[in-house]
Homo-oligomer: A and B are copies of this chain.
Amino acid sequence: MSLIVQKFGGTSVANTGRLQNVADIVTSTYKAGNQVVVVVSAQGDTTDDFIAKAAELNDRPSKREMDVLLSAGEQISMALLAMAIQKLGFPVISLTGWQAGIETDINYSEARIRKVTAERIRSELDRNRIVIVAGFQGINKQDDITTLGRGGSDTTAVAIAASLGADLCQIYTDVDGVYTADPRLVPDARKLEAITYDEMLELATLGAQVLHNRSVEMAKKYNVDLEVVSSFTRNPGTKVKEGSDMEKMNVSGVARDNNCARVAIINLPDEPGVAFKVFSLLAKHKVNIDIILQSVGQKGRKSITFTIPEDKAEEVGKILNANKEGLDFEDVSINTTVAKVSIVGAGMASNPGVAAMMFEALASAGINIRMISTSEIKISVLINEADSEKAVRAIHQKFFNM
């Protein structure tokens, strides 16, 4: 008997037919002799509907009340799924975030899980019940409802799997695994049987959009075996786990991120502590910085260029201009028509030829590289957004279709 956590996203539970499909998947797993904990998101458009209703009443609703509202979404879907499973004749119980002991910090709308006190889940499993838990939500020390922000339901599933010592955490989604590239861009992209946490982390961060990096980070930390699998097909998915047999792998995937902007701060003073000032200012505003490049400017000054998420571009422009005097720079230029394309693979650092192959693929396709960033397991380049699809195809062709 194994203990399996299965997470189903909003599209997987969007309507009656899909809930019945999920009930089939869950009860098949249970019938096979496993203990099953199911984590569900809100149904399809529920969250958007709630946000629209709220917007009619208040253009700036408090985050606390927004969390009260949004968390009703998973409460609805978990009760409906429980009813669908009851209809099939299986014992089941649904639990909200607070009932399931999902304890978070105090940050409404983007809370982080501090602890899962899983006694209730455990006692329901001991009574041979399928346990459904509301994803995306928890409770803070003030007994207030919190939500976990983007990727929240995946994170709930991994946290519960870690807390229970589950044998496997399956993330059901609308794709059937992790591919060597986005199959919509690269039709002959191949599904990976397995991938390491670190590779998955790089791919998640780089915009592969299969798993949110928060959940992968947590899975890595607590060594939870993940599987990305489709709730629509019944094909085997992609396993995400630590594994020495994966060392031989080279490039495991190509990813593209169009939600990217390049910020250049021109002619800062060339003195110690200047970069620190810039980036601590942005950190205070919770802006994630990615690739950083520092170059010598004119008249004994220097320029700093870096990338940020595109949706932060306007805010960052305002923050920097508001601090122009303190930072003592000449100008800021922001370019949102850039994209980041990356290759990810575990064995990459020990194989210097990989970077050369990537640059060669881009050169052959006539694509200009504007910035480069490398790590142990990835190489990223910043290019014009218009070139990004072509770049993914060219690189994929180079590494996977030789």
Whether A175 sits at the interface, judged by CB under 8 Å, is no
- The B-contacting residues of A in range 61-100, CB under 8 angstroms, are 61-62, 64-66, 68-69, 71-72, 75-76, 78-80, 82-84, 86-87, 93-94, 96, 98-99
Whether A314 sits at the interface, judged by CB under 8 Å, is no
A53–B61 alpha-carbon span in the complex (Å): 29
Chain B residues with CB under 8 A of A68? 75, 78-79, 82, 94, 96
- For A70, give the chain B residue with the smallest CB separation: B79
B75–A94 contact, CB under 8 A? Answer: no
A69–B80 contact, CB under 8 A? Answer: yes
A57–B19 contact, CB under 8 A? Answer: yes
- For A75, give the chain B residue with the smallest CB separation: B72
Interface residues on A, range: 35 or more
Whether A279 sits at the interface, judged by CB under 8 Å, is no
A53–B86 contact, CB under 8 A? Answer: no
Q: A72-B76, A75-B68, A75-B69 are in contact. Are A62 and B50 (CB under 8 A)?
A: no
B83–A64 contact, CB under 8 A? Answer: no
A248–B71 alpha-carbon span in the complex (Å): 53
Q: A61-B86, A93-B64, A143-B120 are in contact. Are A54 and B69 (CB under 8 A)?
A: no
Instruction: Tell me how far the C-beta of A295 lies from the nearest C-beta in chain B, rounded to whole angstroms.
Output: 47
Whether A20 sits at the interface, judged by CB under 8 Å, is yes
Q: For the complex, would chain A's binding face be called helix, strand, loop or mixed by DSSP majority? A: helix
Whether A16 sits at the interface, judged by CB under 8 Å, is yes
A93–B143 alpha-carbon span in the complex (Å): 13
A57–B94 contact, CB under 8 A? Answer: no
- For A134, give the chain B residue with the smallest CB separation: B68
B62–A80 contact, CB under 8 A? Answer: no
A19–B58 alpha-carbon span in the complex (Å): 11
A65–B86 contact, CB under 8 A? Answer: yes
A94–B79 contact, CB under 8 A? Answer: no
A54–B66 contact, CB under 8 A? Answer: no
Q: A62-B86, A71-B75 are in contact. Are A80 and B53 (CB under 8 A)?
A: yes
Q: Can you add 19 more A-B contacts, CB < 8 Å, to A54-B80, A57-B83, A69-B79?
A: A16-B56, A20-B57, A57-B80, A57-B84, A57-B87, A58-B84, A62-B83, A66-B79, A66-B83, A68-B78, A68-B79, A68-B94, A69-B76, A69-B83, A71-B75, A72-B72, A72-B75, A72-B79, A96-B145
